[in-house]
Structure 1
């Protein structure tokens, strides 16, 4: 009879800590950005409502932490992979912003769309800083 071992869940609390910390910090900054838009007299898009901003930031932080952990666990060279993957994810995250900008440019101008793009950048910068601290990346021995 062979014993089967369940996957280690030791990292789960650290992933949750990283996701939660990134979510709280990035949400605080992103809500500040969202609130600054109307305070500056700029047009507001529905995507800039604080509740939605927090919800999407939390989802991004959780998905990011899970992805970061997967790369840490499965890649032989996670630092190199993350160095390439993070900018790609950021660039892809701008696609909806560009599409929204094209769709609303005549009505709102670029400011609200630039605010959304700034929120994407903020979320990734905060998340990577938190993940690097809470979920450090180490390469596997060859």
Structure 2
């Protein structure tokens, strides 16, 4: 079985946002897969995706603090500055984390660990809506 759908997430502030539930709701076909993979791709160059701790909001805030420290806005050496001080740093952060994740599917659900969740990593102050391509492949139940 192959299934593909588009999910457009509403604008979110800069930061790391759990979107596991958004993806599950957008993909009811997930329940039809016994064993498979879900590939999630973001169609943007200033936001990214990752999987990490889903329980403590401290983790999400610490991620944001770390990346802002490692790749600061407004660094004078950046040449690409026409779209604002947060644009080039957003591109770098997105490249470090990546545009996609592939998640296992087992018995009609994402086979994430107890403390794992899917994050949208918004690296711009005003990034706008973000579009994800969800591609599901697997053996039907």
Tell me if both proteins adopt one fold, taking TM over 0.5 as the criterion.
Answer: no
More strand by share: 2
- Larger of the two Rg values belongs to structure: 1
Instruction: Give the alignment's TM-score, normalised by structure 1.
Output: 0.35
Higher relative contact order (CA 8 A, sep 6+): 2
Q: Which has the higher helix share?
A: 1
**What TM-score do you get using the length of structure 2 for normalisation?**
0.36
